[in-house]
Amino acid sequence: MKQLIRALAAVVIVSVGLILLVNKLNSAQGYSSGNTLTIFNWGDYIDQDLIKRFEKETGIKVIYETFDSNEAMLTKIEQGGTSYDIAIPSEYMIEKMREEDLLLPIDHSKVPNLKYIDPRFMDLPFDPGNEYSVPYFWGTVGILYNKAMLGDMEITSWDDLWNPAFKNQILIVDGAREVMGMGLNSLGYSLNDKNEEHLLEAKKKLDLLTPNIKAIVGDEIRMLLENGEASIGLVWSGTAQEIMWENDDVEYVIPEEGSNLWFDNMVIPKTSKNPEAAHKFINFMLDPEVAAQNTEYVGYSTPNKGALQFMDEEITSDERFYPDEEMTAKLEVYKNLGKRMLAYYNDLFLEFKMHRK
């Protein structure tokens, strides 16, 4: 028994020693559990130099993790294994997280740089009064095509993608809302349509596109299109802009039938252990010069009107990425469809993917 007690005591002593050592090392770097900030964001969706700058300016240690879909982000936050202090979901997911009471309110008094956000991007239906979210980036879904590979062929609408000349030439992102949305928009229906007959019609039309689809892919779509592995891609506007920086032969178009206008916002999950640091980070990211640097790195459109003065006018005047009011009127924001209808969208999308095999 005495040997057991001594062994347990030794384990306790070693454990305490390790804890003290870790705390000492963290203190030497200016970090402690009280000033650590855990961020959950999309992949390659922030300039890492800005994270280093924030750490240096505040002494707050940033732990950075990424997700590849809104649904994956939600699942992990619901499971509660990690106490994220900041997450960056899209508009329809913010609405869902609000309904499920997963978010802390934003204290606007601690985010004075909110004054730089363009009023067009505030007080939107998915979060009235921006009670729970702060704009981060916005953009569209559209078609990228390689002019050199297509010759004199031009793409202006969703329907153009069904041209038999494009056999095995199209890459599309692996997203149910984006792909089903393409089918719905091509038929003149809403991106948020809940009419099951319309959805089945859209799915049947998408099945007819199968011969033209080379692959359904994730983040690698950028590399594949940059390398000319396909001539056409269904992409987000920021991905298109990044590719266009590398290749002058590509063009991006918002289809004339309309498309998605999306928003990604910063939120503070209810399980946050450091909401004070979360507010500091949000305010830091809204500084116009910081927002401009981040925008030039990421490639998506910024809602920060103060940042525009620090950016290249050639970018901010480009209506493909900062569309005018006439085009914006044709764009729709994704709405929360509810569990049953979202599952139906996902099921149809899965059937569409299986149809290709």
The pTM score is: 0.78
Over residues 212-269, the pLDDT tens digits come to: 999 999 889 999 999 999 999 999 998 898 899 888 899 999 999 999 999 999 999 9
Backbone dihedral angles phi then psi of residue 12, each to the nearest 5 degrees: -60, -45
Res 119: pLDDT: 93
pLDDT of residue 4: 42
The pLDDT score that the predictor gives to residue 20 is: 43
Quote the DSSP letter at residue 44: T
Cα–Cα dist 334/92, whole Å: 6
**pLDDT value of position 19:** 43
The whole-number average pLDDT for the span 322-335 is 86
CB atoms within 10 A of CB 62: 20
For residue 12, what pLDDT is reported? 45
Q: Are the C-beta atoms of 264 and 303 separated by less than 8 Å?
A: no
Kindly state the tokens that stand for 25: 């090392």
> Can 31-138+263-316 and 139-262+323-355 be said to share one CATH topology?
yes
Whether the predicted pLDDT of 14 surpasses 90: no
**pLDDT band at 13; cut points 50, 70, 90:** low
Of the chain, the percentage scoring pLDDT greater than 90 comes to: 74
Mean pLDDT of the chain: 89
According to the CATH classification, is domain 31-138+263-316 in 1.10.730.10? no
Q: So what's the pLDDT on residue 357? A: 63
Report whether pLDDT(93) > 60.
yes
CATH architecture designation of domain 139-262+323-355: 3-Layer(aba) Sandwich (3.40)
Residue 173: both structure tokens together: 């992102």
Q: Is the dihedral of CA 175, 179, 180, 182 positive or negative?
A: positive
The domain spans of the chain are 31-138+263-316, 139-262+323-355
Q: In angstroms, rounded to a whole number, what is the distance separating the alpha carbons of residues 43 and 221?
A: 13
